[in-house]
Structure 1
Amino acid sequence: MSTNFSTLAYSLRVASQIRGTAIKLGHAHQLLAAAFGYGSLAGYQHSLASGREPTQITSECHLILDIPFLSRRSAELQLNFNDSQLVELMFAAFAAQKCGAGIYHSDEAFFNALHDLVQQTVLNDEDVSNHTANMNTNGVSEIYMPFDFSIDVLPEIGEWFDIQIVGHLAMIPDEERLYYGDTVDVVAELSMQRNGRKLVSGVTVKILSAEPDDGWADDRPRVPLQSRAEAFGKLLDIPAPLLVDLNNVDIWQDTGNSGEGFYGYVIDFTNADPESVVHLIFAKHGRLSFNVWPGFFDGVEPE
């Protein structure tokens, strides 16, 4: 289904009536124009006539609101709405049309939706699933697919925009079984088209590659390495800056009772220094020795 600007403006007026704060239809048009990023209805209409705004709002569209801008325009129109009321009215107007278009109260809200879409695409990808099925693991530990987004840095209206995302899917190793890897390196592409000042459409995510992280294919894109202090910080739940000067940590492989397997590493802070950090570790955990999974040091800078 789809809708258009005039129909949405009427729905906005109806939504205000239902909430006991009825506005004129002309004000509804002006307020909706502000939601689309314009300081006046005439400005929106000019862009619409020149093809810089779509004539139909479909389920492919996503509108990202600029609440401070919308609030200023509401005040100029002498409408007595606070920010939360403006958001509620806009969401209600779109919901009434059942057009399936997405509407978000900020860049951050839309980014969160994109982030969830990327993560679900990685998790449901057939190649990724095939790789994780061959690992002795107990479920997903982390989906790490970092990227940034702001509609203000997108290209000109009508152009497509692609973001290449390099990350990984990390699994929880099953320490009762032999280790066959726990990480799949993933390269994905997030694409969308800007079709208005505050509108994007055609959002898609595709997986470009998915490979088990065996440490051999060094020509593949890599997630930036983390420091040993950062790795220890995540393990110990202690801020990494406190662990930067940590030295003389004993680390050895856990080969099991037979001495022939590889089940991970033992990290022992008993002989480490400075002593103040060792005392902090013991105070927090009541022990100084920790068993970690085989892939613990993957992606960690070598000493």
Structure 2
Amino acid sequence: MSVVALASAFALAVVLAAIVGPLLLRRSAPLLVRLPRLAIAVLAGTILLWPAALLSIGPLAAWLLSGPTILPEGAAEVCQRCISAANPFGAEIGSGPVPSILLLALPAAAAVVLGAAVAVRLRSNVGELVKAAESVSGQSRVIAGHRVTVVADDRLLAYSLPGARGGIVLSTGALAALERAELAAVLAHERAHVRQRHHWVMALTDSISTVLTAVPLIREARRMLPAYLEIAADRAAQKAAGTTAVVSALLTLGERSAVREGALHMAGPERVRQLVAPARGRAGALPTAVMISLVVVLAAVTALVFAPYSAALAVGCAL
């Protein structure tokens, strides 16, 4: 297969992934639910890499297709010199209807607009985390070896914020209601959120997915991600305190309630089944393999495209 055919196949795969990807993610659930940290990597990787892969199609095409010249002669020569310096495939392979400068300029402009929008959203998300941490008024205590902020509240509250912004938070109502083993499970669950930096994963992926919510693949990945973050923390708590303690704690704390923006909560009996009767067998293996392969391909091609351009610019290809 020629290089042009491979590049065309990649472009088609990026577009098809946006449409078919949600189905693959849902079909992968029976396996991913048993491997939640892998699920987080796949979902977060999808959200991070799909936009980069889409933006790489133009620069990739600029290597393979020589379009009409619309720049002044000197500028066109400089542009072509940069493209040639970055091109790992050697000489131009064919001709196309789109000027090479547009194949570079349009993705670059889109990247600037997307980056600015994501930066604004990320700043807002981080601001919400900071605001949530500052709004917590309680006493810092060491409970079972964990630094915990205890707030005076009769409600059953157990959640976490980033370590530098508050860490584990429990209410006096939760402390009174939880048995010793349940409390150990809750602390292990929330510690996992903090140590695995789940809050920052959510802040970053939400910043991208909010801007690209029209893309079905990214929208579905963002919808599924919070559940896998909770399941990953459940698994950590299960190892530390045992299945019975985790299940009992989930039932005691009851349904999830949005107490703080950006907080991750130890609540929700809907996760009990995943702890006591996880799926078995090979269900979900094939779509999971496809999704992992997709993430790897997106990462590889994106690096293949942008690294040579960056290197060419760094050494002054236009000089």
TM-score by length of 2: 0.21
The structure with more helix, counted as a fraction of residues: 2
TM-score by length of 1: 0.22
Structure showing greater radius of gyration is: 1
The structure with more strand, counted as a fraction of residues: 1
